[in-house]
Amino acid sequence: MTRNEQGAFPTDIYLSSVSSLYQHRRALVIGMLSHVVTFLLVFLKTAEPLYLGCAIAIVIIWALRNLDMRRFDRQDFSRADQAAVRRWENRYIVGGIGVTLTCGLACGYAIAVSQDSFSELACISVTLASMISLVGRNYGSERAVLLLSSSACLPIVIGLVALRDPYMLVLAVLILPFIFTTWKMANNVRAFLYDNVLAAREIRTIAGQFDAALNNMTHGLLMLNGDNRIVVANDRACELLKLGGKVDMKGVVLDDVLQRAARQMSLDAEKSANMVRQLDLLLKGKRSRALVPVAEDLFLEFSASRRDNGEIVLIFEDVTARVQAEKQILQMVRFDTLTGLPSRDYLAELAQNAVAGEAAPDRDVGLLLIDIAEFKHVNDTRGHVVGDKLLQAIAERLKQVAGSGAIAARLMGDEFVVFFSNKAGSLGLDERIRDVHARMRGTYEAGGFTFYMIMSAGFVVAKRSAFRFEDLQIKADLALAETKSRDRGGCIAFEAEMDARYLDRQRLKSDLREALNSGALSVSYQPMYTPDGSRVECCEALARWTHPERGPVPPSVFIQLAEEMGLVTDITRFVLRQACRDCSTWPQGVAVSVNLSVLDLRDRQIVEIVGKALDEAGLDPARLHLEVTESCLMDEPAKGQSLLDELRERGMTIAIDDFGTGYSSLSSLDALPVSIIKIDRSFVRNIRGDARRFKLLRSAVNLARALGLKAVVEGVETVDELQLINNHRCADLIQGFVFSAPMPASAIRDLCKPRVRKRTTKASRSHIA
């Protein structure tokens, strides 16, 4: 602590120390009376007027100080600063000095002038008595102690020195340490009290902060001693437990508090006992958390931690919102939000529960899988809002027709499933399933529209002892796939052959992936000749796969598998690279043609794939023809046309394959970057005997030429067909067995050598070959 205490402490503490100077006024009255009586006695003894004057001065000073103290009491110090407080300290010191200086002067006069033993003894006694109480009254002001003690003792020192007696001089010197000791003692008292005041203030601040934090927690808190009696409880705990004021809880046993809470919340005996039981397990450390359902709209979660001194801190919170959110999430997970039917995963759980713990292992159970045919058409033509209402109507009917003992659910999109637990063990489960399917077909009202819906279905019936939901779903799905492929709108039961075909197909997919990774695929080429058969202008690249066990696998089979597996672009990349390399070894006038699938035209990556294949082979882009079918352009036509435009700008030739079999408009040919159309073989078949078919062929060729396109006729197999086409100039190029079957790249170079021979002779030899 510094000597300048008003700067060392905050204003409020400084004010407190100054206020202490103005207290204990009865002591001042007693001191005033003792001083007055003493001075009057000395006056009576010595008859010296000084002592009468001292008595009067003491009374006057006391009266003035008393008035000043009353003014101090009325003063508003709420906004007082250090300077204002210091002024009041100075006023007190002035009044105090008036008293002590009067006493000191009386003592000095008695020693140096009166030299009366009674006067000396009386004056010095009353003055020293005042000095003794000086520390107790004035410790709050360092200056007050120093100035008051000095003003009282220095006149005595002067009086002793004035006697010119060596002994008195020594006595005068010894009074100075008394002043210092008094000042030091007051400082020590003041420092001790100030330290305690600051510590108490800090404790109050921390306690206030802790109390504020405690009572502003979102969690309730109860601190228990070793006897499970409440030591601390915050406001939130009282609020959550409906306990009222927390003061009433101190020292109360926790069980009594819980019983009171149960009464306040009107809990029944079961819920009350459950809360007590769970908290007991929690306090014993047998659980880390306890969720207590207090009411439908109130859930409390408790946790407890034990301190080293045996106290337990019990914290709890209102988790109603979380519990309700979890219930809602569980509802969303378990049930389809649109139809209200169980989801697939929840259906599996319900089905497992339905067959568990029963004593009839040989009872049949069934699973029916239903797919809504042409539902996409409803969304496309009427919008998704109407489509959703239609799904709701279908779901409602499905719940009705499924009946008791069956669980209807929605798998995804337009697929529904029904599990038949068949608890009654009735015969004819197949007939019941087929009846459900039959009743699901028919008309539905949705969004003001009437729809006649056809349902394709597949189902499986199995023994309860062999029940496994995943297996049932796989088998029902296989049956549904069979229905879609051969009996749209029907309902087919699972057969073992379906599983065998499925497994065989999966093995074939695995083998195809391995063949593609190991480079086991190959490329054959079917030439396109000029109509007279004299020259090969282009060769179509065809992917081939020879299975090590099955032998040659038809392209129609493994290309479809590749589409299902997403490997079509990988096959396209392989064929492009191989075709470009082979074509680079052929004569300059011969091009190679590669087919692009619908999946290839969905990603701009195909442009990079084609460019990379040309660069690696060093092939002129003009020698690469790219074939696309009409159906490829139906899916995202704008994107497909954009990719074809870019490929053509790079110098490649674009051809429409299987022309006439797709769904595109003939007028779209003018907008596409197409140079060649390849007329499908269906237009060539039996053109000699079917005049109508031949007219269609000629019309397609005339259309191509009118648009400035080259016409390639595919599938020409006989000399008779070739002669008819040549007689009417119906082709710019011919592709078919009449000239050549697909062959390896090594056989193409000989065919590409230009030579002239009779058309019929060549055609006959090629056909025979």
Task: Classify the phi-psi angles of 285: left when phi > 0, otherwise alpha if psi is within -120 to 50, otherwise beta.
Answer: left
Task: Enumerate domains of the chain plus CATH numbers.
Answer: 5-207 (no CATH), 220-325 (3.30.450.20), 337-494 (3.30.70.270), 508-768 (3.20.20.450)
Highest mean pLDDT among 428-432, 467-471, 710-714: 710-714
Q: What pLDDT, on a 0 to 100 scale, did the predictor assign at position 758?
A: 42
* Closest by CA position to 276, among listed 291, 255, 256: 255
Distance, in Å, from the CA atom of 391 to the CA atom of 529, rounded to the nearest integer, reads 55
Is the per-residue pLDDT at 763 higher than 60? no
Confidence of residue 248 (pLDDT cuts 50, 70, 90): low
Nearest to 684 by CA among 738, 740, 630, 631: 738
Mean pLDDT of the chain: 83
* Helix (H/G/I), strand (E/B), else coil: 677: strand
pLDDT classification of 619: cutoffs 50, 70, 90: very high
Contacts of 531 (CB under 8 A, 6+ apart): 722, 725, 726, 729, 731, 732, 733, 734, 759
pTM beyond 0.85 = no
- Cα separation values, 662 from 568, 637, 666, 706, Å: 20, 14, 10, 20
523-556 pLDDT, tens digit each: 999 999 999 988 899 999 999 999 998 899 998 8
Strands of 157-288, DSSP E = 220-224, 230-233
Helix ranges (DSSP H) in 356-447: 375-382, 384-402, 429-440
Cα–chain-centroid distance for residue 167? Answer: 94
Least confident span in 48-52, 56-60, 361-365: 361-365
Q: How confident is the model over 626-648, as a mean pLDDT?
A: 81
Q: Tokens at residue 155, please?
A: 């006149």
Q: What's the pLDDT score for residue 281?
A: 84
Rounded to whole angstroms, the Cα distance separating 643 from 610 reads 11
Q: What is the largest CA-CA distance in the chain?
A: 175
pLDDT at res. 767? 34
Residue 5: per-residue pLDDT: 43
Per-residue pLDDT of 701-717, as tens digits, reads 888 888 889 999 999 99
Residue-level pLDDT at 669: 66
Q: How far apart are the first and last CA of the chain?
A: 120
For residues 336-354, average pLDDT: 87
Q: What angle do CA 321, 322, 325 make, to 5 degrees?
A: 85
Mean pLDDT of all residues in 753-767: 43
Residue 88 clears pLDDT 50, i.e. is over it: yes
* Closest C-alpha among 543, 577, 539 to residue 562: 543
Distance of alpha carbon 211 from alpha carbon 215, whole angstroms: 6
